[in-house]
Structure 1
Amino acid sequence: MGTGSTKGVLVDISGTVIASEAIAHGMDLPRPGWAEADAEGMWWREVCAISNALMSQLPPGGRVAGMCVSGVGPCLVLCDSDLRPLRPAILYGVDTRATEEIASLTEEFGESKILERAGTLLSSQALGPKLEWVRRHEPHVFDAARGWYGSNSYIAAKLTGEYAIDHHTASQCDPLYATRELDWNYEWAQRICGPLPLPRLVWPNEVVGGVLPEAAAATGVPEGTPVVAGTVDAYSEAFSVGVRRPGDQMLMYGSTMFLIQVIDEYHSDPTLWTTAGVDRDSLALAAGTSTAGSLIGWLQKVTGGASFEDLMAEATGVPPGCEGLLVLPYFAGERTPVFDPQARGVVAGLTLRHGRGHLFRAAYEGISFGIRQILERFDDAHAGNRTVAVGGGLRSPIWAQAVSDITGRPQLVPEQAIGASYGDALLAAIGVGLVPPSTDWAKIAREIKPDPRNRALYDDLYDTWRELYPATKPQVHRLAATEPG
């Protein structure tokens, strides 16, 4: 269950995709800074529809051995005792409502202690402040709640009735989880959750339970089918393309950029997220931007709605560096590495000679400069030695090449690009014992290599790009304060 759609696959134990289904959806943006989803009306309904469609394509004589669901995260789904959501799900870091709660909890627990215990400073990505926001602003909801869930753990509960959450998702529920110990931080969790019980912790490839009769009727999946816990969609996608060893990286080109790197020992950085990994007892670093493909889509809309092909043709005709044009892509605030919901987009160097193609290429380059900034922080923990690129943004002839040119890193593009649902299928196969835990279905189709002719130009522009945010921060913060709401 991703930001823009829910996707499902039916896969055999060799990794061959037998059938796939997808349903497009959006997120609800009821107020500035809010991002929500209907957990039951959208996520559960779409899981049921896709599961029924996939079951109808099961080969004759075949049977479903296991099921696994991943989803956007970390999200907050508060439910009553009958597993009915009490309010719309509050989404991950794109929802920035809990700014005051981030500040108050940071003051209460101490910034250095949070970094030491959770591995990550509190930001809009953290779930703890969102729980605190509901307690403060919607006490009737908080008091009626009997459990809290992420997107995938909510679906697992609907399927099995089990109250459990995977370690990775829990490790993004800062400051409720102690990442160094791979366990709940019980003192802080009790302070924030109050009477709400903590879910049972499981690893993403562990079986949570079997499909209940009512869930079987809704999904078409046979009663008793084992359900594997799953995890946050980006991590399941990384798992699907073989990003499992220390130094392995995944760059996900989507509505936002999401980056993951597996590390071999605990490392915390205030500008990154330190999390539990997908494999048992593993660790990872993560980072995410607030815009990427969403910025390109916005530009396409406001510049006249030309076709993607026409826009890319114009942008391809613009030389690297866009003839002195730079874009700071903080059009929806920014997550890593600045963690500033009041950051805003900046276009610098614009002249009358620049056209639409310049703006599009400069936006791609601005996003790519941000990726370089994040990867340099990853290197402080463990030098990246293998970068795998995934996501719909790879269809742009400019974007991934700009990332390789600006970062100096080659990128491997896998043959199978279905994404998180393919990783879910592998987690299910491992979880029910059909394949060994080390199984990797990923096959590399091509490599994107850096063009050395552009390195000196981009090194120079990168230095200027890094100066833009601190140089304009006071001004854009004042402008952000004048926005409605």
Structure 2
Amino acid sequence: MLRNAVIGVDIGTSSSKGVLVGLDGTLLRSAVREHTPARPGPGRFEMDAAVWWREFTELTRELTAPADAAVIAVGVSGMGPCVLLTDEHDEPLRPAVLYGVDTRAVRQIERLDEQLGPDEILARCGSALTTQAAGPKIAWIAEEEPELYARARRLYMPSSWLVRKLTGAYVLDHHSASQCTPLYDTTAQEWYTPWAQAVAPGIELPALAWSGESAGVLTAEAARAANLPAGIPVTTGTIDAWAEALSVGAQRTGDLMLMYGTTMFLIHTVPKPLTSPSLWGTVGALPGTRNLAGGMATSGAVTNWLRDLVGAADHPELLSLAEAAGPGANGLLMLPYFSGERTPVMDPEARGVIAGLTLSHTRGDLYRAALEATGFGVRHNIEVLEAAGGDIRRVVAVGGGTQGALWTQIVSDITGRPQELRSTSIGASYGGALLAAQLVTDASVDEWNPVRRTVTPRAENTARYDELYALYRRLYPDTAAVVHSLAALQDR
């Protein structure tokens, strides 16, 4: 007898991941397809939408190859906010421009701020215009590629593109829309037509729905391509970090989710709308929820860079060396701004800095400094969150970086915050599967994914990390002029 199950697929920055999950939350199978975004110029990150659909179908075919489960619903998520523009026939016009790691639209941000007013944008949209926002990226395409833009009719992100391919529906979730600043009004929770027409003229914006709502059912054509049953429901989906938060139950008021991945993401659930020019105020993935969020441009990306740079076989080898290095990395301090920085610095021209290097330092010291840099960045974001009115009562960690004990321990030691770890930390694809299950059952995240352990801060490291954090906060302003000049040289 076949076991009923659901599938969740997430399109991430460095890979697409899929999971087959039983209706009780048991992870039956998982699959991954790695990819690398194109970098056509300094500060530019793009990806071909054909990759998203191809990898989705490859993942679902792999997950369903053993014919031992009956898939009854599908959930999707993806990196974002991204900008994929299509023509009147829904053919992509160019590769998608990715989220805040793509910093090309600085001039458009400045122009839109002057045109619309930064205070008005923050009040209506919940977030200031930054490289994270989708609106300026649309404006960049309109200004820099006008002939192409003249044929643009629709706007997609990875999750909504999958929904379109699977169901034929043109729909975007409210949370993703709230990161399309300045196109969406977070108070009215609808597209704001005057600014949408000014920033994205000629674009038919998608219908809006909540992440867990059904966008439609699988068409016969999509079912054949994905080896799935026709007629099963598909969630509207959302941006990956918000699906990660759902996967570990971090959507209650006072919760803070830390997502350990290629980038570090922070999502704080608040009882009422809060704004800060250094953070992102958004609507949540679920109806009635509000978030104040932050994101570092790199975290795991720096550790991957170091692994490749030093020729290490794998991360466990470097984690062991980093643990032996001890707190403070033997006097090394790193700014992890290797792709500029998002919150709370909001500086696309920031660059990575490694201070204190000597001939005695080792691979382990460098790797430890990278892990600690993430911890210092998280602490900086937390301080800004609380200064904006946030009230953090519980921290829940998720993502691939939680697999080893060292990274989460370092972050708890630096921030002084315990972190709750759930049994399954696979992340967004599992969150998508949960939303899919909730379309057809009364699945509960606490039953699906109970708490496994809690990481507690170690008091013996507090003084050392407080001292280093003070230096970390000084390092950016003390080096900003130099790295900005270097960034300008890199752009030539």
Report the TM-score range of the alignment, normalised by the length of the smaller protein: over 0.9
Partner of 1:229: 236
- Whole-angstrom CA distance in 1 between matches of 2:218 and 2:331: 58
User: Structure 1 residues 453 and 154 mapped into 2: Cα distance closer, same or farther (>3 Å)?
Assistant: same
Aligned pair partner of 2:398 in 390, 393, 396:
390
Letter paired with 2:14 = G
Q: 1:190 — aligned with what?
A: 197
> In the TM superposition, what are the counterparts of 1:364-403 in structure 2 within 5 Å?
364-380=371-387, 381-403=389-411
- Residue number in structure 2 paired with 1:253: 260
Does the Cα contact within 8 Å between 1:182 and 1:281 map onto a contact in 2?
no
The correspondence for 1:75, drawn from 58, 76, 82, is 82
User: Does the 8 A contact of 1:242 with 1:441 survive in 2?
Assistant: no
| Closer/same/farther in 2, CA of residues 437 and 279 from structure 1, 3 Å limit | farther
Q: Deviations over 1:383-416 (max 9, x none)?
A: 2111111122224443211100000011111111
Does the CA contact (< 8 Å) of 2:141 and 2:149 recur in 1? yes
Tell me: CA distance 1:311–1:17, structure 2 relative to 1, closer, same or farther (3 Å). closer
1:385-424 map, 5 Å:
385-424=393-432
Mapped to 2, the partners of 1:101 and 1:114 lie a distance apart of 14
Deviation at 1:335, TM superposition (A): 0.7
Contact 2:106 2:131 in 1 (8 A): yes
In structure 1, the partner of 2:4 is none
Q: Aligned with 2:77: secondary structure?
A: coil
Structure 1: tracts of 5 or more residues without a match: none
Write the mapping of 1:231-380 to structure 2, written as runs, cut at 5 A.
231-305=238-312, 307-380=314-387
Cα distance in 2 for residues equivalent to 1:226 and 1:299 = 42
Q: Residue 471 of structure 1 aligns with which residue?
A: 478
Q: Which residue of 1 aligns with 2:39?
A: 29
1:435-474 superposed matches below 5 A: 435=442, 441-474=448-481
Deviations 1:282-327 (A, max 9, x none): 1112111111111112122223435433322322222312233211
Q: Greater share of strand residues, 1 or 2? A: 2
Conserved 8 A contact 2:400-2:426 = no
How many percent of aligned residue pairs carry the same amino acid? 47
Deviation of 1:250 (Å)? 1.2
Q: Which amino acid aligns with 1:322?
A: A
What is the CA-CA distance between 1:437 and the residue it aligns to?
Answer: 7.5
The number of residue pairs the alignment matches comes to 481
CA distance in 1, matches of 2:368, 2:445: 40
TM-score (norm 2): 0.94
Does the CA-based 8 Å contact 2:72-2:233 persist in structure 1?
yes
Kindly state the Cα deviation for residue 43 of structure 1 after the two structures are TM-superposed. 0.3
* Cα distance in 1 for residues equivalent to 2:405 and 2:284: 32
Give me the whole-angstrom Cα distance separating, in 1, the residues matched to 2:117 and 2:487: 27
Residues 1:47 and 1:388: Cα distance change in structure 2 (over 3 Å): same
1:172 is matched with 179
SS for the counterpart of 2:490 is coil
On the 8 A contact 1:361/1:398 being kept in 2, the answer is no
Specify the alignment match of 2:6 in structure 1.
none
TM-score, length of structure 1 as denominator length = 0.95
Cα distance, 1:17–1:314 mapped onto 2, change above 3 Å? closer
SS of 2:133's equivalent in the other structure is coil
Question: What is the RMSD computed on CA atoms of the aligned residues?
Answer: 1.7
- CA offsets, 1:422-454, max 9 Å, x none? 111111122x24216787522111211100011
The separation in 1 between residues aligned to 2:20 and 2:415, in whole angstroms, is 36
The one of 54, 59, 80 equivalent to 1:45 is 54
C-alpha change, 1:349 and 1:56, in structure 2 (3 Å) is closer
Q: 1:412 is aligned with what amino acid?
A: E
Partner of 2:27: 17
Shift of 1:149: 0.8
Distance 2:304 2:127 in 1: 31
Bigger CA drift: 351-360 or 473-482?
A: 351-360
- 2:164 maps to 157
The structure 2 residue matched to 1:434, chosen from 425, 429, 441, is: 441
Q: Match of 1:347, SS?
A: strand
Change (3 A) 1:43 1:321: same
